[in-house]
Amino acid sequence: MNQRETLKNKNGVLEIGGVSATKLAKEFGTPLYVMDQAYIENMCKVYKETLEKEYGDGLICYASKAFSCKEIYRIVNNAGIGADTVSGGEIFTAKSVDFPMEKICFHGNNKTKAELEFAVNSGVGYIVLDAYSEADELDLICKKLNKTQKVLIRVNPGVEAHTHHYIQTAKVDSKFGFSIDSGEALEIVKFVSKKSNIELCGLHCHIGSQIFESKSFALAVDKMTGFYKTIKTELGLEFDVLNMGGGFGIYYAEDDAKKTCAEYADYIKIIAKELKYNVIVKGIKKPFLILEPGRSIVGEAGVTLYTAGRIKDIKSIKKYVAIDGGMFDNPRFALYQAKYTVIAAEKLNEQPIEKYSIAGKCCESGDIIAEDCMLPKINEGDLLAVLSTGAYNYSMSSNYNRNLIPPVIMVKDGEARYAVKPQTYEDLLRNDV
């Protein structure tokens, strides 16, 4: 457990944001997504201040695909940062709480015409292009609406980050971006720069997710600035913006580095240092730097609470403890064997003496949350906590098997409140005909 002031062992019971897990489970029930609001606010503050100090002209955009709801957009807006969105739904949610649209980047490899029109009409800051036909379609939309839209182009710098292959996005065969090495990126730059109704301001890259190796980010900066120099030399174009994406790794289990909020600033420092150096050495214009951390802002802020149900002991093979949640509230193990730390939330002072696999309640053999977890002896009714579930858990949740998606609560300074209310069975039927 990566303990901190707002996530700690208090007399053998897990405490989050000044509230015991026991109290939260009694008041709100389980399964329950719990978000440590102070941690989120602190991460936003650290990233914003570090970028200002180490680089100057730039913007942190929270990658809201990690966790999107009205309240998170309010929180990040109050922190003075922007947002990265990947769908019309995310833009609509942000807009519903008066998020400043000019501080939004809109991504996606297959944005629909309706989404593009909505983004333009909403006044989003930048649309990140990922196809020739998308550039054509957006140009026509802007002409029809008598608007000019600022755009970036997503390019692939060919930097291989050491992470799961499902979340590497800079491979040669990635569905995202245009390859610099193949010459495709230069061709799309030529194409988009000639459009009349869209303004090409710069480029975007994202090398993957859950990356700890700082040299990956440094290499990506080198590749991108080298390409900016090529564009300047061959096309006579200089860009005002560079978006380096995000992908900063967080703590999930013992193999991962434990970082404080302040130490997460090192990712920003590395990128800023490399960019300032490369701008001078390569003789290019210093760009406005956009960075898009998501997981590292909300990931460790999240804890999911479950109640232990049936326990199945297959002698000499495996011991399962079933929970009242499962892949409908956390599909990440089923998708790409994501690792988690699981703790007995009310037995933190007891020795872990048995190995368990944590199984969900769905009618699916692959419905597992974690395997080989060393825990104290678990009984039915015990409270379990899965740590670092703030990113890509609620976002990926579903009503599989007609299970209800758990509510989300924010905790801060000993107080808890709903960010997302509980679903009801009536909610399941709302759109049925």
Q: How far is CA 265 from the centre of its chain?
A: 16
DSSP SS3 for 180: coil
DSSP SS3 for 59: strand
Please confirm, yes or no, whether 373 is among the known catalytic residues. Answer: no
Q: How far is CA 299 from the centre of its chain?
A: 7
**What is the number of alpha carbons within 13 Å of residue 264 lying toward its C-beta?**
29
The token pair at 269 is 């420092």
**13-36 burial code (b ≥16 CB/10 A, e <16):** bbbbbbbbbeebbeebebbbbbbb
**Hey, what amino acid is at 399?**
N
Ramachandran class of 234: left when φ > 0, alpha when ψ lies in -120 to 50, beta otherwise: alpha
Residue 374 burial by CB count (10 A; 0-12/13-18/19+): exposed, middle or buried?
Answer: exposed
Strand partners, 155: 178
DSSP-based helix, strand, coil % in the chain, nearest 5: 35, 25, 40
Count Cβ atoms below 10 Å from residue 155 Cβ, excluding itself: 25
The angle formed by the CA atoms of residues 100, 390 and 208, to the nearest 5 degrees, is 80
Cα distance between residue 110 and residue 121, in whole Å: 19
Cα distance between residue 365 and residue 368, in whole Å: 8
Write the DSSP string, 210-246.
SB--HHHHHHHHHHHHHHHHHHHHHH----SEEE---
**Catalytic residue from among 205, 261, 363, 373:** 363
The token pair at 390 is 């703030």
Ramachandran class of 117: left when φ > 0, alpha when ψ lies in -120 to 50, beta otherwise: alpha
Which sequence positions are flagged as catalytic?
Answer: 363
